[in-house]
Chain A
Amino acid sequence: KNQVEQSPQSLIILEGKNCTLQCNYTVSPFSNLRWYKQDTGRGPVSLTIMTFSENTKSNGRYTATLDADTKQSSLHITASQLSDSASYICVVSATDYKLSFGAGTTVTVRA
């Protein structure tokens, strides 16, 4: 069964600090991996999408990495802001379009 495991489940950081979220997956055959940000009460919004050949992709203060050999990905948030408080969801797509979702990491940024 295709699975996506995210860690930690939640974390609290001070404004201005950095943090890294982890995603491990067993989805096969792999097509792409996406990180979504979901604010409370809103739909998920895509941050990055990476294919097998991509190791790193940045979107502003968000940087995602992918190691397709070990089936691991990380999302690094640099110089966190209060608006970064949200749930971050790792989504892995198989080649047959099916998406497998992680449970998400809830990030709380405090002033």
Chain B
Amino acid sequence: DAGVIQSPRHEVTEMGQEVTLRCKPISGHNSLFWYRQTMMRGLELLIYFNNNVPIDDSGMPEDRFSAKMPNASFSTLKIQPSEPRDSAVYFCASSLGQGEAFFGQGTRLTVV
């Protein structure tokens, strides 16, 4: 398996634009997590899906952020409209239940 695949690896966008980050979890994993990492705040859990259903989205900073998981092999994290303070590295991770979580390479987002 190629592991958790995220795209794009880097994204630079202007303030106010819509940004969509994509994630393909490891096949067979039933849990998917979206994280955000910044120097100031470290790793923060944004949202957690189990069997494609959002279980906890309390970490989503505000209504500008939304996440979907239409099927077991694909998830998106959307920011609309984007703001400079959204600049961070966004990680997607997947696991089988409470087993080891495997992280993707991350998407480095820069909003100018």
- In the bound complex, residues from chain A placing their C-beta under 8 Å from that of B106 are 41-43
In the bound complex, do residue B105 and residue A42 qualify as a contact, i.e. CB atoms below 8 Å apart?
A: yes
Contact A98 B45 (CB under 8 A): yes
B103 part of interface (Cβ distance < 8 Å): yes
| A45–B104 CA distance with the chains assembled, in angstroms | 9
Name the A residues within 8 Å of B55 (CB-CB).
97
Pick from B42, B45, B48, B56: contact of A103, CB under 8 Å: B42
**How many residues belonging to B are interface residues under a CB distance threshold of 8 Å?**
21
B105 and A46 form a contact (CB under 8 A):
no
- Verify B105–A43 contact, CB threshold 8 A: yes
Chain B residues touching A, majority SS: strand
A49 touches B100 (CB 8 A): yes
Which size bracket describes the interface of A in this complex? 10 to 19
Q: Measured between alpha carbons, how far is A54 from B103 in the docked complex, in Å?
A: 24
* Bound: A98/B44 CA distance, A: 11
B98 sits at the interface (CB 8 A): yes
8 Å CB interface, B53-97 against A = 55-56, 91, 93
Q: Decide if A46 touches B48 in the complex (CB within 8 Å).
A: no
Q: How far is the CB of B22 from chain A (nearest CB, A)?
A: 15
Residues of B within 8 A of A (CB): 4, 31, 33, 42-45, 48, 50, 55-56, 91, 93, 98, 100-106
Q: List 19 A-B contacts (CB under 8 A).
A: A31-B98, A32-B98, A42-B105, A42-B106, A43-B4, A43-B103, A43-B105, A44-B43, A44-B91, A44-B103, A45-B103, A46-B101, A46-B102, A93-B98, A97-B55, A97-B98, A98-B45, A99-B33, A99-B45
Q: Enumerate chain A interface residues (CB-CB to B < 8 A).
A: 31-32, 34, 41-46, 49, 89, 93, 97-99, 101-104
Besides A97-B48, A103-B42, 12 other A-B contacts (C-beta < 8 A): A32-B98, A34-B100, A41-B106, A42-B105, A43-B4, A44-B43, A46-B102, A49-B100, A89-B43, A99-B33, A101-B43, A101-B44
